[in-house]
Amino acid sequence: MNMDQEMAKAIKLAQAGKLKPAIAILDGLVKAAPSAIPVRYNLALFLLMAGRHADAVAHLDRILAAQPGHAPSLFSKAKGLLALDRAAEALPLLERLAAGNDPESLLALGNALRSLSRMGEAAQAFRRLTKVAPGFAGGHINLGILLVSTADNEAAMAALDEAVRLHPGVAELQAMRGQVLLRLGRHGDAITALTTALTISPALAPAKGHLLRAYRETADWANEERLFAEIRAAILRGEVKGQLPLSTQDALFYPFTGEEMRRIAGLEAAFRVPGQPRPVLRPQPKPSPPLVVGYLSPDYREHATMHLAGDIFARHDRARVRPVAYSVGPDDGSGWRERMARDCEAFVDLSSLGDRAAAERIAADGVHILVDMSVFTRYARPGIAALRPAPIQAVWLGLAASSSAPWLDYAIVDPVLVPPAHRGHFSEKLILLPDTYQANLAWTPPAGPPPDRPALGLPEDRLVLCSFNGHRKLDRASFSLWLEILAELPDAVLWQLAPPQAARTRLEEAARQAGIDPARLIWAPSLPRPEHLARLPAADLFVDALVCGAHTTAADSLRMGVPLVTAAGSRLGSRVAASLLHALGLPELAVEDATALKTLAVGLGRDRARLAALRARLLELLPTSPAFDPTGFARHLEAGYEAAWACHAVGRKPEDIRLFK
């Protein structure tokens, strides 16, 4: 046998993509000549290419036992360990190789540190790489991705400005720069950067998603609708595999169908957690009751999730559920973390751990049910739940859509939120709560006197309609509807959160074109939550948006005694306010479409006595409403958890659970 000829033959086969016969040839050569390092090294490389990482590492260990300083084997072993999700073992190898500022080793070192959630050190590695090899765009791209992911906008902006100066023709860098500019509220600059990225690479899906958001935030509906149609068609044609055109959370603001939302979530699940990660080993959970329920969230801070669910944890019946808070987000100093530490059995900060270490901690804690309260939202860590640290895993509250994540068994919803006709919008089995899926802080009577309208810039004696949805929910259909309502109610004004100036200019012009005096649009500044709640009773009626309706803002309006009217749309994101109204005992305020919503709002606006009676009825219902009863809500959650666990305990697969007759 001519070893050189056989090895050349194997290399040729591998280059042609025929890895199986190439591996077979080299495997035979290694058995014939175990000490032939070049042959064994090529075999290891081909095994890595074939995804047989553990087999490759075993061969590389044989080489390193004979030649401990064999740099190619050290690097390849590190790559194999990273592929096996063993970054902690790869780290010392890469640190050794990167000591000499080898660009490939620095890149791999940064990625290893990032996978271990050692973000500061990862940024240092990538910065070293950009200094050592400024002409290597990959270093700048990885540094940008890291800084963008940590939301360090100022640092990301500085790094991306330099990267774009050095590599103006790299679309990914232009796109990331546009994304950061958008976060900083520099909408015109963001549109320029994102347009440049798409000029360089027209198929760059993420740039299209961020540009779509920039158009929405500036109320540039003509460009938004054109780009939305383009993105939607590409998704339907399956042209965005391997890319994320827009996040599931961003998609909520556009008129995708429920089935399309499920498809987008599936794209995000595959993008955020590629492949099928090896589950962590779980000890046998202790017999229940009580069930240990882990709540995984990045939002134990001043955030809408706490403004909704913050009272639930303390209300759990400890004989049935022991809640454990698992945090993967930042500490904003607001006190929510301290409160959760008091209200839960334990508060565990996982933010400094990599996904596997975090999942191993959850598994070691004996969690029966893990509830992911965000999945794909800001600071979320879907890779933790993807490692299956708990026997049962569910999604609840933070993502107003299906996750389409194969590692999440249940979605916690309610029958108004997901009626039978919408069952196909979800990949998960459903736990249907009897009232509403949206937990809310306990109701307390408003403190202090009614707000002074003139001090808020409102007319004293006119009808005040409001919609405190964020301006990202301000689509053409919703604003056009509100203008039609204003046209029917000439004494009414519309009170909204102030959008960016470019959007305000366009909205006022749209009002003018519709024959509405722009002075009837009253812009409210953003305020801290207590001050915002205090001003809400100055409004007479909250009119909801159509595509993505009010969620936390709906609860805020109702708890402050301001009636709300909504159109229960064709997917979860447009049905949350309807769910709340049904739970509150005012289902008649949730109608089926925009036409009915206009009729209802105009009718209430023209009949002040009817509107006053409605407000009085709302105030009567609030003290005893299940919509603002965290204790009752906790009992429903516990019943859902127990039913899911009972199903699991007898070996049945997850199935829909209905907690009502």
Q: Could you report the per-residue pLDDT of 515-548, keeping only the tens digit for each? A: 999 999 999 999 999 999 999 999 999 999 999 9
Which of helix, strand or coil describes residue 393? strand
- Mean model confidence pLDDT for the chain: 95
Spatial separation of the C-alpha atoms in residues 390 and 656, rounded to whole Å:
19
The residue assigned the tokens 């009773």 is 537
**Rounded Cα gap, residues 461 and 609, in angstroms:** 15
Q: Is the torsion defined by CA of 193, 198, 204, 207 positive or negative?
A: positive
Does position 661 have pLDDT exceeding 80, yes or no? no
Number of neighbours of residue 419 by Cβ within 10 angstroms: 12
Most confident of 146-160, 274-288, 579-593: 579-593
DSSP for 171-240 reads HHHHHHHHHHHHHTT-HHHHHHHHHHHHHH-TT-HHHHHHHHHHHHHTT-HHHHHHHHHHHHHHHHTTTT
Give the whole-angstrom CA distance, residue 197 versus residue 188.
14
Q: Write down the architecture of domain 454-628 according to CATH.
A: 3-Layer(aba) Sandwich (3.40)
Please list the residues that pair with 565 across neighbouring strands: 543
Distance (Å, rounded) from C-alpha 230 to C-alpha 505? 26
Bridge partners (DSSP) of residue 432 are: 413, 658
Q: Which of 485, 476, 484 has the alpha carbon at shortest distance from 506?
A: 476
Q: Report, as an integer, the average pLDDT of 197-214.
A: 96
Burial level of 421, CB count in 10 A (0-12/13-18/19+)?
exposed
Phi first, then psi, for residue 524 (nearest 5°) are: -100, 135
Per-residue pLDDT tens over the stretch 28-60: 989 989 999 999 999 999 999 999 999 999 999
| Count of residues in the chain | 661
What are the residues whose beta carbons fall under 8 Å from the beta carbon of 611, sequence distance 6 or more? 540, 541, 563, 604, 605
The whole-angstrom separation of Cα 68 and Cα 81 is: 17
Place of tokens 């812009």: 523
Considering only CA atoms, which of 295, 292, 348 is closest in space to residue 318?
Answer: 292
Q: Closest Cα to residue 254, out of 570, 473, 577?
A: 473
pLDDT band at 335 (very low <50, low <70, confident <90, very high): very high
pLDDT at 271 over 80: yes
Range list of H helices, 514-629: 529-535, 552-559, 576-584, 594-606, 608-621
Q: Is 306 left (phi over 0), alpha (psi -120 to 50) or beta?
A: alpha
Dist. CA 584–CA 628, nearest whole Å: 8
Separation of alpha carbons 375 and 116, rounded Å: 19
Fold match, 3-205 / 454-628: no
Q: What local confidence, expressed as pLDDT, does residue 285 receive?
A: 80
Give the model's pLDDT for residue 4. Answer: 84
**Closest among 147, 228, 140 to 183, alpha carbons compared:** 147
Residue range 154-192, pLDDT digits in tens: 999 999 999 999 999 999 999 999 999 999 999 999 999
Q: Cα dist. 72→64, 100, 145, 311 in Å?
A: 10, 14, 27, 55
CA distance 42 to 22: 10
Region for residue 541 given its phi and psi (left: phi exceeds 0; alpha: psi -120 to 50; beta: otherwise): beta
Sign of the C-alpha dihedral computed for residues 236, 238, 243 and 248 taken in this order: positive
Where do the domains of the chain lie? 3-205, 206-276, 291-432, 454-628
Full-model pTM: 0.93
Whole-angstrom Cα Rg for the chain: 28
The CATH number of domain 291-432, selected from 1.10.630.10, 3.90.1150.10, 2.60.40.1180, 3.40.50.11380: 3.40.50.11380
Q: How confident is the model at residue 243 (pLDDT cuts 50, 70, 90)?
A: confident
* Location of structure tokens 């000029």: 199
Cβ burial of 617 (10 Å; 0-12, 13-18, 19+) is: middle
Q: Given CATH 1.10.10.60, say whether it is the number of domain 3-205.
A: no
Q: What confidence tier does 1 reach under pLDDT thresholds 50, 70, 90?
A: low
Q: Which of 239-248, 344-353, 407-416, 422-431 has the lowest mean pLDDT?
A: 239-248
The owner of tokens 């400024």 is 134
User: pLDDT tens across 422-462, in order?
Assistant: 999 999 999 999 999 999 999 999 888 889 999 999 999 99
Residues 6+ apart with CB under 8 A from 488: 598, 602, 605, 606
**pLDDT tens, 384-400?**
999 999 999 999 999 99
For 538, how many CA atoms within 13 A lie in the half-sphere containing its CB?
A: 25
Rounded Cα gap, residues 221 and 225, in angstroms? 6
Tokens of 555: 């609860």
Q: How many CB atoms lie within 10 A of CB 229?
A: 10
**What's the mean pLDDT in 64-77?**
94
Say which amino acid occupies 47: L
**Residue 22 near residue 53, CB atoms below 8 Å:** no
DSSP category for residue 587? G
